[in-house]
Chain A
Amino acid sequence: MTGNDASQSLCAQIRDAYEARRALRIEGNGSKAFYGRATTGESLDVTTHCGIVRYEPTELVVTARAGTPVADIEAALAEHGQMLAFEPPSFAAAATIGGAVASGLGGPRRPWGGAPRDLLLGTSLIDGQGRRLRFGGEVMKNVAGYDVSRLMAGALGTLGVLLEVSIKVLPAPAVERSLVLSLNRDRALHLMRELARQPAPLSAACHVEDRLYVRLSGNASSVAAWEKQIGGDGGAGSDFWRALRDHRLPFFDNPRPLWRLSLAPATPRLDCEHEVLTDWAGAQRWVYTRCAAAELRAEVAKSEGHAILFRHGNDEMSVFHPLDPVRARIHRGLKQRFDPAGILNPGRMYDEI
């Protein structure tokens, strides 16, 4: 396996920064640099720590250094008919696997294939004192110790710098078919929920601009049977799902603040969902709104969901949904234990975190 092990140099840089109490901005290839709150600090480049460390198709696990491009991993898996089931968004070229895990984001397959946290089996990381720690492993069932690996997924590097990740991989489906139906939002949401309740081989369901897009993945006979049952046109191919995953659809070509809403999937349209793309069969909604941020958040909270100001916010607007005092205290406590000097991506998630 090729690549480069830069872990010693990364540890040394973090130790130095810890001793000097100097903030670090963890950087891969910057494909998600827009995501989260602005953070200051010296750049810590993790792209030089790269390469697939182990990949054994019959064990269904790949272990890679954090700076490895996702595309390289996907290419290696494809040779053996396997895939990263969380369908990581890239947003720009050369997204790294470390960034994919740290951001915690899943693509269109997420409700059926899982998020990074679902597939993550183990990590090795550097904490805020420059210590190298290892949690989890390369096996699917492992309940020894707290699940620190999964805690890292979505923590945006604020608890540690990922060095290596071990990820469960799955066989790629033999056949994929995409269907398009002309339906308004309410009827589309209803149909998405109907389908999700049935044993259909769904792998994506998205509604935008009066069209419902459905993807079926599985073996030929099962996909064909459900294709017939659902109907619609076979117009959209895999390009649509890649464009959705990476926010390259026309819907996203808009300079206004873009909100990501995470909701119980059958939640009816909220008053603040003025323009909406509904993904994940209803559970993830991309929204442009005329509501004030507080108004939107209150409406989402009433439905027991949360809202993230995903893109095009400004410095006055908080990005992530505010936490109640008890969880905020737990967040600060964890940050303090993993990064006592507060030098890793400080403030990227919340103030002080």
Chain B
Amino acid sequence: MSEANRSARREALAKRLRSVVDGPHVLSTNAELAPYECDGLAAYRVVPLLVVLPGSVEEVQAVLRICHEERAVVVARGAGTGLSGGALPHEDGVLLSLARLNRILAIDPDNGCARVQPGVRNLAISEAARPHGLYYAPDPSSQIACTIGGNVAENAGGVHCLKYGLTVNNLLAVDLVTVEGELITLGGSGLDGAGYDLLALATGSEGMLGVVVEVMVKLLPIPQRAQVALAAFTEVETAGQAVADIIAAGILPAGLEMMDNPSIRAAEDFVHAGYPTGAAAILLCEVDGGNEEVSEDIARVRQRLLDSGASEVRTASDDLERARFWAGRKAAFPAVGRISPDYYCMDGTIPRKHLPHVLREIARYSTDSGLRVANVFHAGDGNLHPLILYDANNPGELELAEEVGGRILELCVEVGGTITGEHGVGLEKINQMCAQFPPEELQMFHDIKAVFDEHGLLNPGKAIPTLNRCAEFGAMHVKAGDLRFPHLERF
């Protein structure tokens, strides 16, 4: 679209949208639009045509009806904390912010659920449920800021997924507005809904199938107690084996996290958690439940870790120490941010048994590229977050980081894992989807998309690559090493 056409289109669309949403909530000047140009993946930036912030479900429906009539692209956005560019605007499209739909509609302790609007923050749900002794289990690390609507769109995870599941396992129902502006409920107030499991299909669909306007989440009783053990290892392999040994012993930890030496040192320098900086790896193993249960389990965990070859095991003596053990892990990303001007966070999942091999390969990529890599690992569920350290001010280094990242993701696929465990494909990992899925499966994804959104207006260009793009990516990939700017232009 030429600049003049774009400007005319903006005016015309803004006028129509202002007929259904209060004027001040339709943003159209460059100064107003700028804050929306990226999400948590700040390397990609696009200024949208317009931003609209509806204040009710009816307004969302009206906005979608207009956009559908006008064949205007719509990208939904929650808090914009996503790490894969899923909420990156489209330059000719409307950015639909759900931020004003931020009310908790009901906490229903009798039915163990809460009804919330999509713009409610993840942590706010647990805070509202706490007086009833209940909480919402999925806890992505951005939970203080990220919204439940975005959690549904991304099927967000967290550090407790092994025991408590992902977002999809903690939802009862979702109200979705279709691209035509129709309102439907997926799931139900019971534990299942009628017909196909469209709730599961919509969860994690990255805003491609509809817009989430209300969510009914499951609430769980707050465990009486939690206890954490910290174990140090002189070899990564031994730490990996210890994880397998804990699982084999029939213990289902609430959280089981591993950090490698570069992550340990970065975290220790930052928050002084008392981590053993000489260790090749540490494990944090948390158990929760009833008082008696936790005492019994933590003793078993401790013994198991020692038997598996831990050089040292500490159990937190009180809540303060427990918080300190976790502080290092929770601060791992910003800690790495302190030792490098920029870092690029990856999100592959692997069968746990391949961890030593995958870490060795990552170390090799690091040596080859000259870029440092620190690894944090949700060891319980196999979700690996390598952080690739780079400096965007050095020409070519971002592209090099992206290339190393791409190789890591393809390695995850090779060992039977996946390119994204919890951050989503978005725009960031769209090329790696070609490594993960053959053309027939990708075509089926496009077919599913077409059932919900015939004209491809919802978040186009994200999550599922076109077959042409994959053909081109495959062809270029053969000439590995020269891959640069693997995005938009070649779509």
Chain A: minimal CB distance from B151 (Å): 11
The 8 A CB mask of B141-174 against A (1 = contact, 0 = none) is 0000000000000110100011001101100010
Chain A: minimal CB distance from B465 (Å): 10
* A198 x B133 contact (CB < 8 A): yes
* A139 x B349 contact (CB < 8 A): yes
Q: Is B46 located at the chain interface by the 8 A CB criterion?
A: no
* B433 x A145 contact (CB < 8 A): yes
Q: Among B173, B195, B436, which residue has its beta carbon within 8 angstroms of that of A331?
A: B195
* A150 x B197 contact (CB < 8 A): yes
* B190 x A141 contact (CB < 8 A): no
Q: How far is the CA of A224 from the CA of B112 in the complex (A)?
A: 25
The 8 A CB mask of B262-281 against A (1 = contact, 0 = none) is 00000000000000000000
Q: Is B396 located at the chain interface by the 8 A CB criterion?
A: no
Chain A: minimal CB distance from B369 (Å): 24
Q: How far is the CA of A327 from the CA of B471 in the complex (A)?
A: 34
- Chain B residues contacting A284 (CB-CB under 8 Å) are 190-191
Q: Among A141, A197, A324, A331, which residue has its beta carbon within 8 angstroms of that of B421?
A: A141
The 8 A CB mask of A230-241 against B (1 = contact, 0 = none) is 000000000000
Q: How far is the CA of A222 from the CA of B132 in the complex (A)?
A: 22
User: Which A residue sits closest to B452, measured CB to CB?
Assistant: A330
Which listed segment binds B: A3-11, A29-37, A91-99, A129-137?
A: A129-137
Name the interface size band of chain A.
Answer: 35 or more
- Chain B residues contacting A104 (CB-CB under 8 Å) are 192, 197
Which listed segment binds A: B32-40, B377-385, B398-406?
A: B377-385
Chain A: minimal CB distance from B187 (Å): 10
* A143 x B154 contact (CB < 8 A): yes
Q: How far is the CA of A141 from the CA of B423 in the complex (A)?
A: 10
Which listed segment binds A: B73-81, B200-208, B318-326, B329-337?
A: B200-208
The 8 A CB mask of A257-294 against B (1 = contact, 0 = none) is 00001111111000000000000100110000000000
Count of CB-CB pairs between chains A and B under 8 Å: 269
Q: How far is the CA of A321 from the CA of B189 in the complex (A)?
A: 14
Q: How far is the CA of A81 from the CA of B250 in the complex (A)?
A: 7
* A58 x B353 contact (CB < 8 A): yes
- Chain B residues contacting A221 (CB-CB under 8 Å) are 290, 292-293, 295-296
Q: Is A115 located at the chain interface by the 8 A CB criterion?
A: yes
Q: How far is the CA of A142 from the CA of B436 in the complex (A)?
A: 11
- Chain A residues contacting B162 (CB-CB under 8 Å) are 60, 140
- Chain B residues contacting A334 (CB-CB under 8 Å) are 196, 448, 451
Q: Among A127, A148, A320, which residue has its beta carbon within 8 angstroms of that of B195?
A: A320
User: Which A residue sits closest to B294, measured CB to CB?
Assistant: A222
* A140 x B197 contact (CB < 8 A): no
Chain A: minimal CB distance from B375 (Å): 16
Q: Is B222 located at the chain interface by the 8 A CB criterion?
A: yes
Q: Is A56 located at the chain interface by the 8 A CB criterion?
A: yes
Q: How far is the CA of A60 from the CA of B246 in the complex (A)?
A: 12
Which listed segment binds A: B3-11, B15-23, B437-445?
A: B437-445
- Chain A residues contacting B189 (CB-CB under 8 Å) are 263-264, 267, 303-305
Q: Is A118 located at the chain interface by the 8 A CB criterion?
A: yes
User: Which B residue sits closest to A280, measured CB to CB?
Assistant: B191
Q: Among B247, B352, B441, which residue has its beta carbon within 8 angstroms of that of A133?
A: B441
> Counting chain B CB atoms within 10 Å of each CB, which of A111, A198, A284, A334 scores highest?
A334
Q: Is B227 located at the chain interface by the 8 A CB criterion?
A: no
- Chain B residues contacting A138 (CB-CB under 8 Å) are 351, 416
Q: Among A59, A263, A323, A349, which residue has its beta carbon within 8 angstroms of that of B353?
A: A59
* B349 x A56 contact (CB < 8 A): no
Q: How far is the CA of A54 from the CA of B289 in the complex (A)?
A: 31
Q: How far is the CA of A63 from the CA of B386 in the complex (A)?
A: 28
Q: Is B42 located at the chain interface by the 8 A CB criterion?
A: no
* B194 x A323 contact (CB < 8 A): yes
Q: How far is the CA of A326 from the CA of B452 in the complex (A)?
A: 10
- Chain A residues contacting B195 (CB-CB under 8 Å) are 320-321, 323, 327, 331, 349-350
**Nearest 8 A/B pairs, CB to CB:** A221-B292, A333-B451, A150-B200, A141-B421, A262-B190, A321-B194, A264-B189, A222-B293
- Using CB atoms and an 8 Å cutoff, list the residues of chain B in contact with chain A: 108-113, 132-134, 154-155, 157, 161-162, 165-166, 168-169, 173, 178, 182, 184-186, 188-198, 200-201, 203-205, 208-209, 221-224, 244-245, 247-248, 250-252, 289-290, 292-293, 295-297, 349-353, 378, 381-383, 416-425, 429, 433, 436-437, 440-442, 444-445, 447-448, 450-452, 463-464
- Using CB atoms and an 8 Å cutoff, list the residues of chain A in contact with chain B: 56-61, 80-82, 104, 106, 110-111, 114-115, 117-118, 127, 131, 133-135, 137-148, 150-151, 153-155, 159, 170-172, 174, 193, 196-201, 218-222, 224-226, 261-267, 280, 283-284, 303-306, 308, 320-324, 326-327, 330-331, 333-334, 336-338, 349-350
